Amino acid sequence: MNRSLRANRRLASLIRNQVLWMRVARRWLRRPVAWVTSGAPVEVLLAHGIIPFYPENHAAICAARNLSRDLAAHTSEAGWSGDLCSYFRVDLASQETGRTPLGTLTPPDLVLVCNNICGTVQNWFRVTAERYRVPFLFLDTPYSEGPPAPADVEYVRAQLEEIARDAARIAGRRYDERRVLAVARRSMEAIRLWTEVLHTARHRPAPFTSFDAFVQMAPIVSLRGTRRAVRYYRRLLDELRDRIANGIAAIEPEQARVVWDNIAIWPEHRALKALFAQERVALVADTYTGAWSVSRIVDETDPIGGLAQAYCDILLNHGAEHRVQVLSRLVTDFNASGFILHSNRSCKRFSLGQYRVSREVSQRTGAAGVVIEADMADPGFVDFEHLKSRLAPFFEIVKARRDG
Amino acid sequence: MTDRLRPAAQNPIEALRERARNTPLGLAFSSYFPIEVLDAMGLEGASMPNRPAPDYPAAEAELQTFVCNPVRAAVDTVLSAGLPVGLIATTTGCDARLAIGGVLGARCSAPVVTLRLPVKVGSAAALRQAEAALAAFCRDAEAALGRALDPDRLAQACTQREAVRVRLTDLFEGLGERTSAMHAYAAALASQVMSPSQILELLDDPGESGAMRSGPRILLSGSSIPSLQFIADIESLGAVIAADDTCTGVRGACRRVHPRGDDLLNAIARSVLERPVHGPVLVQEPHLRAAHLTSLARSRRVQAVVFFCYKFCDPHAFEIPGLRAALQRDGIPSVVVEADREPGLAARDRMRVQALLEGCA
């Protein structure tokens, strides 16, 4: 039986159309294009007609399409450290060589950076802003162990209001907070649907896995705030509910359920998906795609304040204790008997502290944990045979523990 | 005088142990942390020194391999050096430093408190946030220590620490003219671990300020230097360090506290963001770092720039290619040396610096 989601085909066309729209709208409608980080508050851009483009997504696509080895090598030859984030290296090389699976890259008219996902992006996008000589808009979201303090939210709110006004000025439009609210409502609706999509994997057997979610997350990252994202996730949710109703499982028989921490290993995404299927182990939840599933971003009386609160409160903007809680909750809620921590050489924010997280999640949930060393986009740091060796005993353990 | 600074500069852990005989240490994991606040909490405030070593067994059980050496060494020191530590103060900044709180929180008996400073400079909102962040840090630290910050002690510590920074700035501004690099960096390293009164006594000593040398004038730019050996190695190749742009040197020393009739803590918080020179960890307009460096190179008449960057130090690794390109446009050659676990220059880097200097001769 073909277990691929019907949505995959729609997704490919959705992304293709978005790239095409960006190109056409910039050229013929004079709509500005902003290169943004995945955790940036794009609602203030969309509200003023600015089209966001996500270099992180682009780098992931390059890696999944086997372009990243050559691209990463290019930046090393150009004098950049090979220890820097592989998304940055791949993306920069793509700009410099023109090699991209998207045909051509549309250059930015501005960049919008938010450091709620890592400290790397502020350095990366400074390079981009200098390269294209475009405005650099930076939203500093204070890191916190627990929920953001009122002073943190106020600080972010003050910056965000300024950024929204700058965006309106760059787009040649009048700043309009009602439009921000309208876009935020659409974001919230997409986030609600995406959360429901992810929650379908609580069903045993799971109708889809995180390997699918890693791909299906593209619209929540890059089309958040648009009607297209809402329509897309509505149909995806219907498809997954149909699967549950008809007893269609992603992995059959499902011999164990496990949870993933960190970004996907794009260069070996397909091979890992096949390995898990072969082992009959379902990857049912993860901390990566869930990062876009928890925020409440609509405040009807204070749209900018609502966004400020939400964009401070991102998983990666919190400390180790919070991450232990989130991963433990996923293990429990999704009935997993194990969890995998991808120690991702390119993402210190996601990876450092994982040894503590592993110990404490195991203590709290009784689930087995394993740390695997790899990289999200640079195949030079991904050894599939090594991953298999690390995972083989882990699979045995989680299968043995599957029912408690 | 350089000789009297050397013991603390070369063996900072012993200097800390000596200082902590009667009072526990307040250790800050950043050269930008306002240490006067730790002094005012009844601790022996100090910056965590670099401690290059071939391996760090205690840290390696907690941290992956892709972490810079200063962070790895600092974690190892806390977990294994047996120092009497009363409080560990971490700060926001790069992702590796940010992780320290979470890593140590579960393993260390001393409380770990993070000063969540904004990383953006040049805005009123950031200054207000810095004030709120320092106030929150003090509340958390007071709760962890079970005692309040002493305002009188804060005023005294603030004055003393500022006096140290003023003297250090003066030393670094005199590089290549009236101060030897060995002397300036020895003073900076010693000031991280000695009490302000001890270091002031040494800095006020009108003795020699190091032998002046001749040779190609260079600017040293980068992170916190691994050790005094690193400076000795560069000088042994014939270079004269005539300007500094490092975390150990000017960037840490240039902070000035300007009370504006309000709370002294607020003034201290603002002083971190209002420094005239920022490193790459803080976000400012993209062109400002290059503008600062090229202007510094011109004004100090340097013939070349040596960048040094720790392996896995993202903020410096990101900025170096752009800075080198800007210097190249000004006709100033540069070289990058990558520090890791060695106290001095690695053999390959000695050759690179040597080749650069030969080109300048």
Mutate to test the interface with A, among B318, B323, B328 (most CBs of A within 10 A): B318
CB B197 within 8 A of CB B261: no
Whether the per-residue pLDDT at B302 is higher than 80: the answer is: yes
Instruction: Identify the three-state secondary structure at position B221.
Output: strand
Interface subset of B 267-286, CB within 8 angstroms of A: 280-281, 283, 285-286
**Contact state of B283 with A140 under an 8 Å Cβ cutoff:** yes
B27 closest CA partner among B45, B15, B11: B45
**Contact state of B103 with A81 under an 8 Å Cβ cutoff:** no
Task: Output the tens digit of pLDDT for each of chain A's 404 residues.
Answer: 557 899 999 999 999 999 999 999 999 999 999 999 999 999 999 999 999 999 999 999 999 999 999 999 999 888 899 999 999 999 999 999 999 999 999 999 999 999 999 999 999 999 999 999 999 999 999 999 888 999 999 999 999 999 999 999 999 999 999 999 999 999 999 999 999 999 999 999 999 999 999 999 999 988 999 999 999 999 999 999 999 999 999 999 999 999 999 999 999 999 999 999 999 999 999 999 987 765 677 888 899 999 999 999 989 999 999 999 999 999 999 999 999 999 999 999 999 999 999 999 999 999 999 999 999 999 999 999 999 999 999 999 999 987 54
The ipTM is 0.93
Backbone torsions φ then ψ of A170, nearest 5 degrees: -65, -35
**Contact state of B67 with A158 under an 8 Å Cβ cutoff:** no
Structural tokens at position A308: 């400020």
A342 closest CA partner among A278, A283, A265, A268: A265
CB A206 within 8 A of CB A173: no
**Contact state of A320 with B103 under an 8 Å Cβ cutoff:** yes
B356 closest CA partner among B322, B306, B292, B320: B306
Interface subset of B 101-130, CB within 8 angstroms of A: 101-103, 105-107, 114, 116, 118-120, 123, 125-126, 128-129
Whether the per-residue pLDDT at B137 is higher than 70: the answer is: yes
A115, A145, A353 member nearest B119 (Cβ): A115
- Own/partner pairs, A223-227, CB within 8 angstroms, 24+ separation: A223/A14, A223/A18, A223/A190, A224/A42, A224/A43, A224/A187, A224/A190, A224/A191, A224/A292, A225/A42, A225/A43, A225/A46, A225/A183, A225/A184, A225/A186, A225/A187, A225/A190, A226/A46, A226/A186, A226/A190, A227/A186
Judging contacts by C-beta atoms under 8 Å, the chain B residues touching residue A96 are none
One-character DSSP codes across A244-289: HHTT--SSSS--EEEEEESS--GGGHHHHHHHHHHHTEEEEEETTG
Whether the per-residue pLDDT at B84 is higher than 70: the answer is: yes
**Contact state of B123 with A159 under an 8 Å Cβ cutoff:** yes
- Give the CA radius of gyration of chain B: 19
The confidence score (pLDDT) of residue B228 equals: 95
B146: CB partners within 8 A, 6+ apart: none
CB atoms within 10 A of CB A146: 10
Interface subset of B 74-103, CB within 8 angstroms of A: 92-96, 98-99, 101-103
Instruction: Identify the three-state secondary structure at position B324.
Output: helix
CB A332 within 8 A of CB A404: no
**Contact state of B67 with A127 under an 8 Å Cβ cutoff:** no
Judging contacts by C-beta atoms under 8 Å, the chain B residues touching residue A124 are 318
Tell me the shortest Cα–Cα distance from B224 to chain A, in angstroms: 19
Partnered with residue A374 across adjacent β-strands are: A344
Residue A94 CA to residue A112 CA, distance in Å, equals 20
Strands of A256-261's sheet in order across: A281-286, A256-261, A338-344, A368-374
Judging contacts by C-beta atoms under 8 Å, the chain B residues touching residue A119 are 93-95, 98, 119, 281, 314-315
Residue B124 CA to residue B58 CA, distance in Å, equals 42
For residues A228-242, one letter each, b for 16 or more C-beta atoms within 10 angstroms of the residue's C-beta and e for the rest, the string is bbbbbbeebbebbee
Number of H helices, E strands in chain B: 16, 8
Cα Dmax for chain A: 62
A92 closest CA partner among A77, A112, A103, A109: A77
**Contact state of B103 with A353 under an 8 Å Cβ cutoff:** yes
Q: B63 at the A interface (CB within 8 A)?
A: yes
The confidence score (pLDDT) of residue B210 equals: 61
For residues A110-122, one letter each, b for 16 or more C-beta atoms within 10 angstroms of the residue's C-beta and e for the rest, the string is bbbbbbbbbbbbb
Q: B361 at the A interface (CB within 8 A)?
A: no
B101 closest CA partner among B88, B86, B82: B88
Tell me the shortest Cα–Cα distance from A207 to chain B, in angstroms: 35
Backbone torsions φ then ψ of A205, nearest 5 degrees: -75, 155
Report pTM. 0.95
Tell me the shortest Cα–Cα distance from A120 to chain B, in angstroms: 7
CB B239 within 8 A of CB B306: yes
User: Apex CA B50: angle with CA B48 and CA B56, to 5°?
Assistant: 105
**Contact state of A83 with B125 under an 8 Å Cβ cutoff:** no
Residue A11 CA to residue A1 CA, distance in Å, equals 21
B118, B280, B324 member nearest A155 (Cβ): B118
B287: CB partners within 8 A, 6+ apart: A130
Whether the per-residue pLDDT at B237 is higher than 80: the answer is: yes
Structural tokens at position B207: 């003795």
CB A371 within 8 A of CB A341: yes
Residue B250 CA to residue A254 CA, distance in Å, equals 61
Q: B314 at the A interface (CB within 8 A)?
A: yes
The confidence score (pLDDT) of residue B106 equals: 82
Q: How confident is the model at residue B209 (pLDDT cuts 50, 70, 90)?
A: low
